[in-house]
């Protein structure tokens, strides 16, 4: 579908998470697996990879002045032509205008298609617009509560029955996907969804460790796609030193990521505390002890574990270590 009048524009997205997903889902096999497994689209079951053609543009309109993360593809199913419009709401809050946003995108896509059909053909009685299937991929922390049916977005929409404009968009809510469903197959998008369910940094790292054996079984192409997504996500979640450590562990298949990452965090926080010390504050040693205790708490470890680590690192007695843990365990 050629670009025209600014309705379609070049890719411009600054969110690393968006870039990672778009790179992965532009693989026909990955996209097809996602549609078959994570939607209830009956029509997609007999679609082949070669039936999918990506429209290599971002979709924008005059109504919304930002570039949207999206993926548009044309799917041929026999004589049928279907446009799948996939809007990615990644690392973002709830958008309750979604039904209207999608309507605008769909209408503009139809308008673009209509203008590019020769006039004598589109005026024929048999002419039909292609089906446009709207879909949202979401990974936010909150449950998706935006309206799914356009009719529900209209005031008194139900009262007008079939005479009111209506459609419903498909939704993949990544963080609410069942673990058993995700793990029932082992592909790049399954592993991405499993990792993307993690809410906090530690959860993410634990999920990475759990995925190591599965990742090792992936075909080379899918493993490369996963590494690309992984690199983009690290960019949005972690600092440079942390990224380098995690990437190295991931590439080597090492499963001791949590302990190593925790040590990096402790060192970084100790450095920050040291740089910010002011006259009259506690000693650097006490600040290091406080950082270690706080890190143990934040990473879900027990107070007993913090006591043992203090004894090992600072050569403290059990009583001394317990005193420090009591002082700093709940400190702000």
Query: Which tens digit of pLDDT belongs to each residue from 176-187?
Result: 999 999 999 999
pTM for this predicted structure: 0.72
How far apart CA 121 and CA 159 sit, in angstroms, is: 37
pLDDT over 70 at 288, yes or no: yes
Give the pLDDT band (50/70/90) at residue 312: confident
Return the pLDDT at 3: 40
Return the pLDDT at 180: 95
What's the token pair of residue 36? Answer: 């078959």
Return the pLDDT at 69: 59
Return the pLDDT at 11: 40
Burial of residue 125, with CB atoms counted within 10 A of its CB: 0-12 exposed, 13-18 middle, 19 or more buried: exposed
pLDDT over 80 at 271, yes or no: no
H or E stretch covering 26 = none
Nearest 5 degrees, angle CA 163-CA 165-CA 169? Answer: 140
Residue with tokens 């899918």: 222
Q: Give the whole-number percent of the chain exceeding pLDDT 70.
A: 81
pLDDT over 90 at 274, yes or no: no
Query: Residue range 154-179: average pLDDT?
Result: 93
Return the pLDDT at 68: 52
What's the token pair of residue 19? Answer: 């870039």
User: What letter does residue 46 receive in the DSSP assignment?
Assistant: G
Query: Which tens digit of pLDDT belongs to each residue from 149-160?
Result: 999 999 998 899
Query: Residue range 264-276: average pLDDT?
Result: 59
């Amino acid at each position: 579908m050629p670009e025209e009048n600014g309705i379609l524009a070049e890719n411009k997205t600054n969110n690393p998470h968006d870039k990672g997903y778009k790179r992965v889902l532009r693989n026909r096999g990955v996209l097809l697996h996602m549609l078959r497994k994570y939607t209830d689209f009956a029509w997609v079951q007999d679609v082949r990879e070669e039936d999918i053609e990506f429209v290599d543009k971002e979709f924008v309109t005059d109504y919304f002045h930002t570039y949207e993360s999206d993926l548009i593809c044309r799917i041929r199913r026999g004589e049928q032509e279907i446009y799948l419009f996939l809007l990615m709401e990644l690392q973002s809050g709830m958008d309750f205008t979604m039904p209207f946003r999608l309507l605008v995108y769909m209408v503009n896509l139809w308008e673009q298609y209509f203008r590019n059909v020769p006039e004598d053909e589109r005026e024929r009685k048999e002419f039909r617009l292609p089906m446009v299937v709207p879909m949202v991929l979401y990974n936010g922390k909150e449950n998706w509560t935006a309206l799914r049916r356009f009719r529900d977005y209209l005031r008194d929409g139900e009262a007008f029955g079939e005479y009111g404009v209506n459609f419903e968009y498909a939704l993949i809510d990544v963080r609410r996907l069942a673990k058993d469903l995700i793990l029932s197959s082992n592909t790049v998008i399954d592993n991405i969804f499993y990792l993307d369910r993690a809410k906090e940094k530690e959860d993410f790292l634990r999920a990475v460790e759990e995925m190591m054996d599965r990742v090792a079984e992936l075909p080379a192409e899918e493993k490369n796609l996963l590494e690309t997504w992984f690199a983009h996500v690290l960019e949005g979640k972690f600092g440079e030193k942390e990224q380098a450590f995690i990437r190295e562990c991931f590439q080597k298949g090492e499963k001791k990521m949590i302990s190593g990452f925790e040590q990096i965090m402790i060192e970084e926080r100790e450095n920050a505390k040291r740089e910010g010390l002011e006259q009259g504050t506690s000693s650097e040693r006490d600040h290091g002890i406080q950082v270690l205790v706080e890190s143990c708490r934040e990473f879900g470890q027990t107070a007993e574990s913090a006591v043992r680590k203090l004894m090992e690192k600072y050569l403290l007695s059990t009583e001394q270590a317990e005193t420090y843990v009591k002082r700093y365990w709940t400190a702000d």
